[in-house]
Amino acid sequence: MKPPRHGRFLALPYLGVHAYQNRAASAYFPGLRIGGLFGGRVIDLLSLNWELTFDVSNVDSPPSMTGVSEWAFDFAFSPMVHLPAGPAELLLGPKLGVFWVRGTINNSSYLNETRQGTGLVGGINAGAFMHVSASTSIGVLLSFELRKIEHACNVNPDEIALCSLARDTSAKVVGLTAAALFR
């Protein structure tokens, strides 16, 4: 096999699961995560990337609730250090950006409520990739994130949205995804 070629463009799409790690998230089970890093290499060992992540939460709702759903979208700057390791490549880097979260609660008797929030996200990504061709590697990406809601709104049908600055609302999120690295 040819040694990996390092072009300027880099794309790293991923698909897997995420899980909330804080005590207040006991009603959450692992949910779907899809996203990618897109950017370019500055030098062989460093790439500067933008990361887009979409998480669909898996919420356990009580029987009186007919539908509870939640999703979150992150947009972050994610530089990566690329360390060659024989036929593999190890990636490590921070992430810093913003996120949006939206949840909907439907009660079979009377309540239909939407909660929305925006805030800051920071964390770290680490990955291990095996070369399958000169321009492609496959592997896994592990992410740890801290999301801090800065602004939150409750929106009920036929009512004015009630928005405020959020107080002490944060979540720890771990993601584990299968990924492909194209260069």
pLDDT interval class at 183 (50, 70, 90): confident
Q: What is the pTM of this model?
A: 0.86
The answer to whether residue 4 scores a pLDDT higher than 60 is no
User: How far apart are the C-alpha atoms of 161 and 88, rounded to whole Å?
Assistant: 51
DSSP-based three-state secondary structure for 25 = helix
Selected residue with higher pLDDT from 103 and 83: 83
DSSP-derived pairing of the beta strands 9-20 and 170-182: antiparallel
* CATH class of this structure's domain 9-182: mainly beta
Please list, in sequence order, all residues whose beta carbon lies within 8 angstroms of the beta carbon of residue 25, skipping any fewer than 6 positions away. 171
State residue 151's pLDDT score. 83
pLDDT 10s digits, 109-145 = 556 777 888 999 999 999 999 999 988 999 999 999 9
| Residues composing the chain | 183
Domain chopping of the chain, boundaries? 9-182
Structure tokens at 124: 């770290």
User: How far apart are the C-alpha atoms of 159 and 46, rounded to whole Å?
Assistant: 50
**What are the respective helix, strand and coil percentages of the chain, to the nearest 5?**
0, 75, 25
State residue 158's pLDDT score. 64
Residue 5 DSSP one-character state: P
